[in-house]
A and B are shown apart, each in its own frame.
Chain A
């Protein structure tokens, strides 16, 4: 299991990650939610051993083992889909998969099986032989993800896998992530879209300026930090908003005073959680 133990990383004066601690649990999709510059990518890079923490330790540990991220054995068990698309554009999608598969020691029919499975996973079977530079942005994103799992790793780290894709492709990626989880993988998923975290993640760590603001399941976070929801009602006088933790009670109260033509309840969400925790909106 991936463990961050009081990990900090500085770039000059900037503390990109500041005293971050968490521990992954089996079979979960773990979200790192935060705005641009929160330190998500820095955390991911430390998790895979590309960066060394200045303070604290990153380990892969359970009862049976305790490994450094750079350990070769460990590298075989994790897959990274970097935030920016990292593919060889001049060769085909299948050749990209084949190449990274070989790097992970796959060969012969095992390799070809995995290549076919990953092309299928990314819904690229038809275009597998085409060079990657001819792919659309969404297709490249999906291949970027598929390359991360060519060696069937136990832990998959996805750094903002939906950046720059249309809603349809985004949905396709959500389904892939759910498929991974259902297949028993652990997934670390970074995003600055709270809807994504809310939909996909079992637990979410909210990061801001390198610091961990809160870490829990989505309902628990909302329960703890969401505050009241909003009841929006329309009457003859127009539209009005009412903060409430008891929408039914509030609605009855309002209706007793004046006829309500229309109402809508907006429950607190991760957006409000973030706002309440940091005093800022998640998106600028």
Chain B
């Protein structure tokens, strides 16, 4: 054990001696965190089609018609699942927005004189830009729905008839009641009267007099649990991922360097086993990546107001992320035999996987097939674990999936790498 620690300490010593390696493992990710954090804090993004989950709690012909209108309107990719699962999906960050059509939605849609249709939006707070766009699409659809209603005198008359009966049933005769009924009778004439007065262009699409066509209550999914998050919460999670990538590439290079500089030969001649050597490399990589990722998040917490939802889970996520990337390091060092090859292979593999895993562009902006493909990216699971502890408010059981995936990837990769690592020095 003493020897393993000596070897690991030497590797870490060398890593931090190497200015360029140090830059890539910590300063580069840190700069990215600050840059993207600041950028997304003030930037709204405009994706082509935003995925949302939709729950129709009303289940009437009217609500179904509205959903159909949303689907054909474009701009949203709608998934419909049961309510409790839908909320979970937002909370885990799989979808940015949950739209719930409240009970009475359809009735209000068919009778705008009496009530305004109500929806509830549950929003992932880091994706407020997406939420704003969803809000726009909803309002537009509701407006179109109202216009269709107004443009159809027979529907208006039918509704009117219905309202008249309702009023007559529930209120005793009085002058106020009579006046109300008279006003009601005039309502279906409004569009015709507007036309007659030549005001068509001025009030085109007018919903005036009825107020907004849709009542939207927006709730932040995490805000219910704790204080507001900031955009640095996401960018620091990504930076921590980058430091893992940088660390694993550096360490895979360090094996190649030991080979080319001949020090591997000395290690092989020393009274240590190949197993101890591997353990030392793994330990060094684990120690270094744990240190750099912890250092980054500590900075995020102290300087940039990032407030993790759970420190124990954060520690777990940090550990599992590092384990995963130490395994990956071993595979990289098998593939890249020389320093240059190791660096090239390392970054060459890391970049597409990172992209796929949402390390560069948020996942929800990607086509669906790509998001599915993202599941094969360790980067995705790392981000999920980090974000789960930093701002998604994962519970321990929710944390288990990404952590188990990370540890599994780490162990399998380390074993595969260790088995295939060629020790020959020539």
Q: Are A91 and B262 in contact, CB atoms less than 8 angstroms apart?
A: no
By Cβ-Cβ distance, the 7 closest A-B pairs, closest first, are A86-B262, A102-B6, A75-B271, A90-B17, A103-B270, A72-B271, A90-B14
> A243 within 8 Å of B by Cβ?
no
CA distance A82 to B2 in the complex (A): 25
Binary contact track B307-351/A, C-beta < 8 Å → 1, others 0: 000000000000000000000000000000000000000000000
**Residues of A contacting B6 with CB < 8 Å?**
99, 102-103
Give residues of chain A (52-91) contacting chain B, Cβ–Cβ below 8 Å: 72-73, 75-76, 78, 80, 82, 84-91
> B296 within 8 Å of A by Cβ?
no
Q: Are B17 and A91 in contact, CB atoms less than 8 angstroms apart?
A: yes
CB of B41 to closest CB in A, whole Å: 39
> A241 within 8 Å of B by Cβ?
no
Number of A-B contacts (CB under 8 A): 65
Partner among A82, A90, A104, A131 whose Cβ is within 8 Å of the Cβ of B265: A82
> B263 within 8 Å of A by Cβ?
yes
> B7 within 8 Å of A by Cβ?
yes
> A48 within 8 Å of B by Cβ?
yes
CB of B333 to closest CB in A, whole Å: 17
Given A87-B261, A103-B272, 8 other A-B residues pairs in contact with their CB atoms under 8 A: A50-B268, A50-B269, A73-B271, A75-B271, A89-B261, A90-B14, A90-B17, A104-B271
> B266 within 8 Å of A by Cβ?
yes
Q: Report 19 cross-chain contacts, Cβ distance below 8 Å, ordered by A residue.
A: A50-B265, A72-B271, A75-B270, A80-B265, A80-B266, A80-B269, A82-B265, A85-B262, A86-B266, A87-B263, A88-B10, A90-B17, A91-B14, A91-B17, A99-B6, A103-B7, A103-B271, A104-B270, A131-B17
How many residues of B are in contact with the other chain, CB < 8 A? 21
Q: Are A86 and B17 in contact, CB atoms less than 8 angstroms apart?
A: no
Q: Are B10 and A49 in contact, CB atoms less than 8 angstroms apart?
A: no
**B positions within 8 Å CB-CB of A:** 2-3, 6-7, 10, 13-14, 17-18, 261-263, 265-272, 425
**A positions within 8 Å CB-CB of B:** 48-50, 72-73, 75-76, 78, 80, 82, 84-91, 95, 99-100, 102-105, 107, 131, 147
**Residues of A contacting B18 with CB < 8 Å?**
90
CB of A110 to closest CB in B, whole Å: 13
Q: Are B14 and A88 in contact, CB atoms less than 8 angstroms apart?
A: yes
CA distance A99 to B11 in the complex (A): 11
**Residues of B contacting A100 with CB < 8 Å?**
266, 270
Q: Are A91 and B13 in contact, CB atoms less than 8 angstroms apart?
A: yes
CA distance A100 to B6 in the complex (A): 9
CA distance A131 to B263 in the complex (A): 16
With A49-B269, A75-B271 known to touch, is A86 a contact of B261 (CB < 8 Å)? yes
Q: Which residue of A lies closest to B423 (CB)?
A: A50
CB of A41 to closest CB in B, whole Å: 10
